[in-house]
Chain A
Amino acid sequence: MDKLIIGGQELDSRLFIGTGKFPCKSIIPEVVEACKTEVVTMALRRVDIDSKEENILEYIPKHITLLPNTSGARTAEEAIRIARLARAMGAGNWVKIEVISDMKYLLPDNMETIKATEVLAKEGFVVLPYMSPDLMDAKRLVEAGAATVMPLGAPIGTNRGIRTKEMTQIIIDEIDIPVIVDAGIGKPSDAAQAMEMGADAVLVNTAIATAQDPVMMAKAFSMAVEAGRIGYLAKMGKIQKYAQASSPLTGFLREGGA
């Protein structure tokens, strides 16, 4: 599979995973191993560095690129503070901006996200902003210095699949930096679909974490992402509206004229 480059870093895996909602943290290393992911996101609000047992960072293998996220931030200012804290804590300079000002649907606030991206990109962060799929906002994020854009497939945690297909496809088509479909991906075939659409990567949490066997599900997602990517690169055949007759009705024109 071709490599994905984000923030100057080459990645072999196009599956990013989250660390929330697992029944126990000790399963995370196995999940990482099973899906060969190289980027793992975690909510900084949940990172408890004072406790070896509870500290999520203890469960993430050292070769993984940490992607702390700003879960809990309601404004750009809060997201900026959380990102700076993450870096000060030694979690690297990648950050997933998540600004949510509506606790009911947990939909991202694009305007605040753009503001935070601008500030943090200038401070040298590799910024991966989570967003509602809107083309103009995606362009603004590119301009603000985002390393990727991360449109949501469906509201977070819903497992409903790529419900924003049309809008997300437009972003994939129009935006030159990597597009990572985040949120809503509920089953391996959803991930494959996103990859076939041309997404550069997907971020999956709930679907893996809440599966009866998270390790097996992680593996399934890894295969689906790879299949979807290779399918995309192989350039799929055209989808036909009607069956194509093996004996064309207008064939005589070519035959007769010969």
Chain B
Amino acid sequence: MPAAESAATTTQSAAPGGRDPAGWPLIALLGNPNTGKSTIFNRLTGLRQRIANYPGITVEARQGLMVNCGRTMQVLDLPGTYSLSATSPDERVVIDVLTGHGGQPKPDLVVCILDATNVRRNLFLASQLAEFEMPVILVLNQWDVAVRRGIAPDPRALEHALGVPVLTTVGTKGHGLAELRQAICDSLAKPRRMRRIEWQQATLEAGETLRAAIRDAGGDVTLAEAHRIIFDSRSAIRERLPVDKDRLGELVQEARAKIRRSGLNPAAAEAILHYAHIDGLLADAIRGSRAMIRGGDESIDALLVHRVWGSLIFVAVMWVVFQSVYAWAAPFMDLIDAGTSWLQETVGGALAGTPVFASLVSDGIIAGAGGVVIFLPQIFILFLFIALLEDSGYMSRAAFLMDKLFGWCGLNGKSFVPLLSSYACAIPGVMAARALEDPKARLTTVLMAPFMSCSARLPVYVLLIGAFIEPVYGTFVAGWVLFGMHFVGLAVALPLVWFLNRVVLRTPQLPFLLEMSSYKIPDMRNVVLKMWEGGREFLLRAGTVILAFSVIIWALLYFPRDPSVATRAEEAFVAARSSEVGAAQAAAELADPASDSSVALAHAIDGAYLEQSFLGRFGKFVQPVFALAGFDWKITVGVLSSFPAREVIIATLGIIYNLGDDVDEQSEGLRGAMAAQTWPDGPRAGQPVFTVPVVLAVMVFFALCMQCGATLAVIGRQIGWSWAVGSFIGMSALAWSGAVLVFQIGSFLAR
């Protein structure tokens, strides 16, 4: 489908929601959470969709294209919201789009998706929408469930009462979608506006008076916007007005006083009047549609949120999720790893004629791309589980169970899944934090994720504990140290998060209101699309940044590569070998490229190049700073080189200790070489470099440092680059301080 593809490319380049020259109509989908809105969006647009990012805030509305009655149309899936009071970033985007301030013109048509099993509450949002006097279609989704439970409203009566088309759909099965497409075409040709609430006199006058006053002050708002300003103390509309803040505050107070004098509490007036409007106007249509909690849901909840059984089931579910992200992904990751190595060797071999280019392609680009792709299995698996948990209705129960544990430091129950999965890998964890509506909790969950001990830290722990703790203190202690290392980040992060939320970000916390909707069988189309979306977002948004990091670090490790370094290393090696076995024997060994000596020579040359590289020199230069933590220059270079990806340290140490890069955390050679390291000079000359305090200091450094370009990139995309850079610097400082503290205290105790 070339037409559709070229159309999709066009939107890719357009600003979020920006109308393109073709003049495609913009259709916005609006609705409460859990109405099946996204399923309908997926049905309408198929895979021709992407996430439209709104600059400066962490809200993502999905945008897609559909071809309908011979025209291309843009479809915008707005974040699910219960009302138009613009307090959370999600709601802000909704109000901005509806008032034409979302960096785009107003939508040509709003399709408002209602949950047919709970029409009354869902109509509250629709009733607020009606005030904006836009063309509207109402869709009663999950119609089959409502009919089966005998609580379906009468769509004809609704249509008659509201004056707009009312359709019934079963999004998961695609029922009613053809009719919806047709209704969209009809409405674009002949727009119909929804009957709006008739405010009682005082509210109407208050709105008109405020509107006139704003106009006098040089602003311009509609009556609907004026009412939003009166009813929402922090409305997004309010901030956009060119009116002096204090003056506007007075005007709003006057308007609210007018409403109060009419006998209504202005805080509650809007909801009371809208619900009265809904109840009065729709008495006939929703008479038989009184929503109620299903007995089945009640029985499931009796088990799933039970004090004992609910907690046990929760632990079991989370264990499965964690194990899957951790273990199921492993074979795929190994496969990607093997594929990357194979490609590196093949391409490196083919380009052997130009060593610089060969190294750039195989060690810089292919290694970098492999380092991106390797996270895909974990992202897919985590998003599979998140989609299943969300669509089934269990996620809100999990948040309910966990909320108390997280509330004290400003997080909430929904932080649990992102943080748990960060123990496997922070990247899917950061991405999963999108599910948190409360902006403060979302921000802090993202900032906390890289402190969780991800699986890339494990090789470092295994190497150091295996080489230095286990031989001295035994397996039992080694196991406990490994276990304890997994909590270092958490223990440091929790007080910081508390401090950040209670002292730094002193914006009020939103109430943690959680709808515990009916249990459902997940819609597999939705599940697969969520996985696909997670993977694609990661590749598109983070992949490029990670690749760039990887190439930069490669260059710092490769250049300047003065050939005299190799010559000197070779001379030194030959001299040393000659003095051991005689010059003739040494020359004979080196004549055979497969001999142990030749391999050792190649490793020695690699080591010398690394030492003389920009990063190697930089490492030596800054080593005094790390000396406070007991690091020699080799550890320092290893630590610095692993900033783009912490697992790289193993290979770097292999090169530094002249063992080549083909070592892993179990290598006896690497463990032996590290144990044999002694300080060449200085106060500790002759003593081993790796003492227990040094080993612990290195591990604490890794536990607290964000040595992961991929995480940095994902955080930057998610909550903004200033936060990403800030947390990177903050974590680096914490890691250094932690390492210094551990080393100094450890050395003092060991004395």
Indicate whether A and B interact: no
Residues in chain A within 8 A of chain B (CB atoms)? none
